[in-house]
Amino acid sequence: MKVTFERVIPDEKSSFRTIHNNSPISEFKWEYHYHPEIELVCVISGSGTRHVGYHKSNYTNGDLILIGSNIPHSGFGLNSIDPHEEIVLQFKQEILQFPEQEVEARSIKDLLELSKYGIKFHRRIKKAMIPKLRLMLESEGYKRYLILLEILFELSQSKDYELLNNEIMPYTIISKNKTRLENIFTYVEHNYDKEIDIDDVAKLANLTLPAFCNFFKKATQITFTEFVNRYRINKACLLMAQDKSISECSYSCGFNNVTYFNRMFKKYTEKTPSEFIKNFSHNKVNVDFVEKETKIKTSF
């Protein structure tokens, strides 16, 4: 898994960038990256994984996330299945100029400060934003800019949201350790379904075992063992949503002991695998419930 700096180029005759992805997910890279621009991601339809800063969890039937400047995150097509449609806005805070005394300026400024933690807006807000985002794709010039201001102001007035992270992830953690973290992430991505020896990963990172443990905890706020377990449980949730059995999910995700898998699953989802499957099956039409059930508690 790559960790990259993304150079964002504004649209022609515009101060910010709009992206409309409505193609098979295989055509895009959903890599972990960062950029100075603030980003608003509206997944209109589709299910996948949101990975913002230290936080990683699943979403179902769309998403609306505001991500602050230089906060590392993955593309929202990560682990998704077709069809996947999303509209993304990328803009620098400098393009938003208001008189300091204006109430609108203060509320939007507060919103952008909170965005450094990653803001997940609830489904009702997402639904209200979709027509405005579609209108923006069809608009040009100053009208486009006014729609951006309108969207940000409406989001700043909403209390229907949650913060994804408890603390801000400095992008320097990624930029200073880019190659080392890339190697670790890629190793886990390719080997999560089998036994992982932490000594091998420490050697891959060219560190002694104690130094590796200290480095990884400092960079991600969790231990390497916890990172691997959370990664595996995240994968298991996706498999269970596709009607795979508990034992199949356990062994497919690198757990060679179903009892241990059950214990880890409950630790990170607050449900046993059986409860998860039962509730998911009985509530497929309730997308808010499904998203709640597939959410892994804050993790890197």
Give me the DSSP letters along 147-160. Answer: HHHHHHHHHHH---
The answer to whether residue 169 is domain-embedded is: no
**Same domain? 94 vs 153:** yes
Residues 6+ apart with CB under 8 A from 204: 183, 184, 187
The answer to whether residue 7 is domain-embedded is: yes
The answer to whether residue 264 is domain-embedded is: yes
**Same domain? 100 vs 197:** no
- CA–CA gap between residue 210 and residue 202 (Å, rounded): 9
The answer to whether residue 261 is domain-embedded is: yes
Return per-residue pLDDT of the chain as tens, 300 residues: 567 788 999 999 899 999 999 878 777 777 788 899 999 999 998 888 899 998 988 888 899 999 999 999 998 887 777 788 999 999 999 998 776 667 778 899 999 999 999 999 999 999 999 999 999 999 998 999 999 999 999 999 999 999 999 988 877 777 788 888 889 988 998 999 999 999 999 999 999 999 999 999 888 888 999 999 988 998 898 888 788 899 999 999 999 899 999 999 998 888 899 988 877 665 443 434 334 444 444 344
Name the β-bridge partners of 43.
63, 86
Count: domains in the chain: 2
- CA–CA gap between residue 34 and residue 174 (Å, rounded): 9
The two three-digit tokens of residue 67, written as one number? 């991500």
CATH number of the domain bearing residue 222: 1.10.10.60
- CA–CA gap between residue 271 and residue 159 (Å, rounded): 27
**Same domain? 15 vs 55:** yes
**Same domain? 204 vs 96:** no
Number of H helices, E strands in the chain: 12, 10
- CA–CA gap between residue 227 and residue 233 (Å, rounded): 10
**Same domain? 124 vs 202:** no
Count of CB atoms within 10 A of residue 187's CB? 16
**Same domain? 182 vs 260:** yes
**Same domain? 153 vs 14:** yes
Phi/psi class of residue 123: alpha, beta or left (left: φ > 0; alpha: ψ in -120 to 50)?
alpha
The answer to whether residue 300 is domain-embedded is: no
pTM above 0.85, yes or no: no
Final residue belonging to a domain, choices 121, 136, 163: 163
**Same domain? 185 vs 102:** no
Task: Provide φ and ψ at 61, rounded to 5°.
Answer: 60, 50
Instruction: Determine the structural domain holding residue 242 and report its residue range.
Output: 177-293
The answer to whether residue 57 is domain-embedded is: yes
Burial (0-12, 13-18, 19+ Cβ within 10 Å), 176: exposed
The answer to whether residue 48 is domain-embedded is: yes
Read off the DSSP letter of residue 210: H
**Same domain? 150 vs 225:** no
